[in-house]
A and B are shown apart, each in its own frame.
Chain A
Amino acid sequence: MTTTKSSAAEMATALAAGTTTSVELTQLHYDRIAQVDEDVHAFLYLDKEGALEQAAAVDAKRQSGEELGPLAGIPLALKDVLAQKGVPTTCGSKMLEGWRPPYDATVVTRLKEAGVVILGKTNMDEFAMGSSTENSAYGPTHNPWDLTRIPGGSGGGSAAALAAFEAPLAIGTDTGGSIRQPAAVTGTVGVKPTYGGVSRYGLIAFSSSLDQAGPCARTVLDAALLHEVIAGHDERDSTSINAPVPQVVKAAKKLDVKGMKIGVVKELQGEGFQAGVLDRFHDGLDALVSAGAELVEVSCPTFDYALAAYYLIAPSECSSNLARFDSMRYGIRVGDNGERSAEEVMKLTRHKGFGPEVKRRIILGTYALSSGYYDAYYGSAQKVRTLLMRDFANAFAQADVLVSPTAPTTAFKIGEQVDDPLAMYLNDIATIPVNMAGIGGMSLPCGLAQEDGLPVGFQIMSPAMRDDLMYQVGGTLEAALLAKWGAPILDKAPVLAAR
């Protein structure tokens, strides 16, 4: 029987066999959302009318014998950073409250063309800046494993929706870990494709040289199916890679890592990493060795500087990108009394429209780019980026993929780090190098930490445009761990799984 706990692949099989319809599936998920989202707060907006209409259209096509894609009729949760025509899109900010985009992001166009049913928009840290979803102007999202804890960020809403069985698929975006870290702390799967692998057209920009949209799911195969729907060249994004999409579905189904070399990054373990995180990470390594892979230790000495470089590059690009929120063409406008100048209105609007973390990063970026400091800060950070890419090139010469824990700790308590930006930034220490180099990264669950019973994420990194390799290793590891556990990890989530 198809339930909200089924995987997207299982739902697709049921749809093809005619044992359920897309309208039924969609309604089933709205029922689940009605049951749990008051507690979880994964969604900012539900587009019931649009989704049910789309589901009915897919059912009609199926009835008439039309050939449909593998995810046609499957519901999905969309991170509120992506423009969807006519549907409120806030990016977690008061700045865009009430804005309804006049166009679809390319990712949204591709989802619609594939017949994927978009249930609604998910909560996120304002303008994707944060690691806990506490920076949302619309209140935090709660981790389905423990409602007093954070679901990660910035894509906490998308990850929580999956973990609470409110959607089988979701879209996230990842600038420094915003897909992978939420996946890690919610026991779900999240993939940051190679930079340029998925179009950024219609993705509200935070840091353009780092931002990348990607698939979120509960299984590696589901993520791969979604990956192939959204990936591929788009002439509307000048940084989109014009090359064939790596065959990630085929790779996810291989279930074989014999003879593959797995590089364990020396710098991404040890100090600062929770004991239970390291223990589960080593369980994952053991499973890969049992499956026939070979472990090699690799050293990436510049990783120690990646976080510092990221917190110069990302704020610099953000200070430039967010200049577009000027109260003139869209978004809110504050204090326009007919007497104030455009500049005064702009300053009042940006004071009111942006939250503390966004302001902090705009000011930091403005400083790093200002005359007299540019070379010392932004310029130096760009050099670190070169060194990081050299570290990766060197490591990938010794190994097919690299691995590490995704995040240094399990989910922390809501409010615990909110007043300490530097502590908050450390959550992304293992995910940031991937964005800086533009390569692929995946997080999948590798067990529960013994200290707190919360999920731990296993990160797999693959060379640029070899996203298939992380799916191959991820699919194999997932199957090995499932055989060991006997049931999916989310069955152990105490709060919501029983409902």
Chain B
Amino acid sequence: MSAISRDDVAHLAKLARISMSDAELDHLAQEMDLILGAVARVQEVAASDVPPTSHPIPVNNVVRQDVVRPSLTPQEALSGAPAQSEDRFKVPQILGEE
């Protein structure tokens, strides 16, 4: 039995905001099944008394002095923008038509 169906992949693609063709979904569903089958073995050794590690070095909150420092100008910050207007990033409609 497959761990993951084509519909599951379509749902994941929607969550990840990637359009996918039918052929891509079919192919990826097969690959995901194989890959998940291979990586699921982590469960064999992940006993309940083992604490998880998210990061290789223990990091606490790292803060810096709250002082004004030079930073990018608006022109520099916008230099890679696909579209801009009045010193702002110009984006497609977010809320849909009125």
A209 and B54 CA atoms in complex are apart in Å by 7
A26 within 8 Å of B by Cβ? no
Contacts of A204 in B (CB 8 A): none
Among residues of B, the one whose C-beta sits closest to the C-beta of A96 is B80
Judge whether A342 and B92 touch: CB under 8 Å. Answer: yes
Q: Does A480 contact B (CB under 8 A)?
A: no
Query: Contacts A336-B83, A348-B19, A359-B28; is A384 near B46 (CB within 8 Å)?
Result: yes
Q: Name the interface size band of chain B.
A: 35 or more
Are the CB atoms of A385 and B93 closer together than 8 Å?
no
- Do B17 and A347 touch (CB < 8 A)? yes
- Render A317-335 as a binary contact track against B, CB cut-off 8 A, 1 for contact: 0010001001111111100
Which chain A positions have C-beta within 8 A of B56?
195-196, 209-210, 389, 436-439, 464
What 1/0 mask marks residues of chain B from 15 to 36 whose CB sits below 8 Å from any chain A CB? 1111110001000100110111
A342 touching B18, Cβ below 8 Å: no
Contact B80 A383 (CB under 8 A): no
Tell me, rounded to whole Å, the shortest Cβ–Cβ distance linking B20 to chain A: 7
- Asked, given contacts A342-B91, A383-B46, whether A239 binds B17 with beta carbons under 8 Å apart, the answer is no
Q: What sequence of 0s and 1s flags, for each residue 55-98 of chain B, a beta carbon within 8 Å of any chain A beta carbon?
A: 11101001010000000100011011111000001011110100
Other-chain residue from A329, A351, A367, A384 in contact with B81 (beta carbon distance below 8 A):
A329
- Residues of B near A341 (CB, < 8 A) are 92-94, 96
Which residues on the B side are within 8 Å of A196 (C-beta)? 56-57
- Asked if A422 meets B38 with Cβ closer than 8 Å, knowing A209-B56, A347-B17, A363-B12, the reply is yes
Q: Are A362 and B16 in contact (CB under 8 A)?
A: yes
Interface code A327-364, partner B: CB below 8 Å = 1, 0 otherwise?
A: 11111110010101111111110110010000110111
Whether A346 and B17, one on each chain, are in contact in the complex, defined by CB atoms closer than 8 angstroms, is: yes
Which one, B12, B17, B43, B92, contacts A380 given CB within 8 A?
B43
Tell whether, in the assembled complex, residue B82 and residue A336 are in contact, meaning their CB atoms are under 8 Å apart. yes
A333 to B89, CA, bound (A): 13
The residues of B that contact A247 with a CB separation of less than 8 Å are none
Contacts of B77 in A (CB 8 A): 102
Contact A328 B89 (CB under 8 A): yes
B60's nearest neighbour on chain A, judged by CB, is A238
Cα distance A358–B16 in the bound complex, in angstroms: 12
Task: Identify the closest chain A residue to B73 (Cβ).
Answer: A102
Task: Answer whether residue B42 sits at the interface, using C-beta atoms and an 8 A cutoff.
Answer: yes
Contacts of A305 in B (CB 8 A): 41-42, 44-45
| Chain B interface main SS type | loop
> Would A383 and B52 count as touching, CB distance under 8 A?
yes
For A99, list chain B residues within 8 Å (CB): 80
Query: Chain B contacts of A241 at CB under 8 A?
Result: 57
A328–B82 Cα gap in the complex (Å)?
A: 7
Interchain nearest-CB distance for A425 vs B (Å): 8
In the complex, A471 has a CB within 8 A of chain B = no
A326–B82 Cα distance when bound, in Å, is: 11
Residue numbers in A under 8 Å from B47 (CB-CB): 383
- Chain A residues bordering chain B, tally (CB within 8 A): 70
Q: Is A53's CB within 8 Å of the partner chain B? A: no
* Partner pick for A311 among B24, B35, B59, CB 8 A cutoff: B35
Q: How far is the CB of A397 from chain B (nearest CB, A)?
A: 18
| Closest chain A CB from B10 CB (angstroms) | 10
Return the chain B residue nearest A354 by Cβ: B18
Which residue of B is nearest A336, CB measured? B92
Minimal beta-carbon separation of B94 from chain A (angstroms)? 5
A377 lies within 8 A of B39 (CB): yes
Are A326 and B17 touching (Cβ within 8 A)?
yes
**Least Cβ–Cβ distance between A176 and chain B, in angstroms:** 13
Residue B50 at the chain A interface, CB threshold 8 Å: yes
Option from B57, B64, B80 in Cβ contact (under 8 Å) with A438: B57
Q: Which chain A residues numbered 407 to 432 have a C-beta less than 8 Å away from chain B?
A: 421-422
- Indicate if B40 sits at the interface (CB-CB under 8 A): yes
Identify the interface centre among B51, B55, B62, B72: most chain A CB within 10 Å of its CB.
Answer: B55
Task: Report if A379 contacts B (CB, 8 A).
Answer: yes
> Considering the chains assembled together, what is the distance between the CA atoms of A379 and B48 in angstroms?
10
Min CB–CB distance B24 → chain A (angstroms): 8
Tell me the bound Cα distance from A437 to B3 in angstroms: 30
Inter-chain contact B32/A364, CB cutoff 8 Å: yes
Residues of chain B contacted by A103 (CB below 8 angstroms): 72, 76
Say how far A330's CB is from chain B's closest CB, in angstroms: 3
The answer to whether A102 and B79 touch across the interface, beta carbons within 8 angstroms, is yes
Known pairs A241-B57, A350-B17; list 18 more (Cβ under 8 Å): A195-B56, A195-B57, A239-B59, A323-B17, A328-B82, A328-B91, A338-B92, A359-B28, A363-B13, A367-B4, A377-B39, A379-B52, A382-B53, A382-B54, A385-B52, A386-B51, A422-B38, A438-B55
A contact residues vs B (CB 8 Å cutoff): 99-103, 195-196, 209-210, 235, 238-239, 241, 302, 305, 308-309, 311-312, 319, 323, 326-333, 336, 338, 340-348, 350-351, 354, 359-360, 362-364, 366-367, 370, 376-377, 379-387, 389, 421-422, 436-439, 464
Can you spell out 7 A-B residue pairs with CB atoms less than 8 angstroms apart? Answer: A103-B76, A302-B45, A354-B18, A370-B12, A379-B52, A421-B31, A438-B55
